[in-house]
Amino acid sequence: MDLIQLQRQLVDYRTSLYHEGFLDEQFTQLQSLQDENNPDFVVEVVSLFFEDSERLLNELSKALEQQIIDFKRMDAQVHQLKGSSSSIGAHRVQKLCIVFRNYCEVHNVEGCLKCLQQVKHEYGIIKTKLESMFQLEQQILNAGGSIPV
């Protein structure tokens, strides 16, 4: 695929992520922060997000496997996840966290379990999509082109 096509593909892909609600304008903000001083800023931030989220999701899974569930702690963790996802604009994940917190508040185990599943699912999707997008960007750069804004 030639450079122009790659670039167009990237733009389309990115646009679809916004349209489908996977990303929100916070992601755009992130991109605007990237500059010559930090050429890999977005990738770095998103990587931090992946690390943090995976850690939190693991902890949440463990928490729900316990005999006695510590809802307060779980709520704090979901809150963290919410904050984290808001940082890169992972919109769907963020929205789910709100629902998740509600279940925590009322100590609804079933609800929490369901939410956790959904969050994991959405997280998986956004992770895959962002990774694909970064790959596309890399291809463009490798082909000597620049990333369209």
Partner 1 sequence: MVLAESGFSSPRNDAFPAGLRVLVVDDDPTWLKILEKMLKKCSYEVTTCCLAREALNLLRERKDGYDIVISDVNMPDMDGFKLLEHVGLEMDLPVIMMSVDGETSRVMKGVQHGACDYLLKPIRMKELRNIWQHVFRKKIHEVRDIESLEGFESIQMTRSGYDLFDDGHFLSGDDTTSGRKRKDADNKHDDRELSDPSSTKKARVVWTVDLHQKFVKAVNQIGFDKVGPKKILDLMNVPWLTRENVASHLQKYRLYLSRLQKESDIKNSFIGMKHSDLPSKDSTASFGPHKAMNMIPDDVPNGTYSFSASNSLAQNVDLKGQGDLKGITSAPVAEPKGALSIDIHDSHEANSTQMSFDHSLGSVDSAVSFASFNSTTPLQYPWTEIPEIQFKQECEPLHLENGFSQLPLPGPSMIENEANRSRIEVKPLLDESRSNFVEHLGPVGAEDLFPIQSKSQSLNNQVFDLISATKSSMKTQDVGLNYLADSEFALRNLNASGVGVPLATLSEDLQICWLQGDCYPMNYGLQDLECSTYDNPALMAETPFHLYDVLR
Binding site for partner 1 (CB under 8 A): 26, 29-30, 32-33, 38, 41, 44-45, 48-49, 51-52, 76, 79-80, 82-84, 86-89
Tokens of 141: 């750069």
If the CB atoms of residues 18 and 41 are measured against partner 1, the closer one turns out to be 41
Q: What is the DSSP letter of 38?
A: B
C-alpha span between 23 and 6 (Å, rounded) = 21
Task: Provide, rounded to whole angstroms, the least separation between the CB of residue 99 and partner 1.
Answer: 15
Task: Provide, rounded to whole angstroms, the least separation between the CB of residue 133 and partner 1.
Answer: 17
Closest C-alpha to 145, from 10, 7, 22: 7
If the CB atoms of residues 41 and 134 are measured against partner 1, the closer one turns out to be 41
If the CB atoms of residues 59 and 113 are measured against partner 1, the closer one turns out to be 59
C-alpha span between 104 and 5 (Å, rounded) = 47
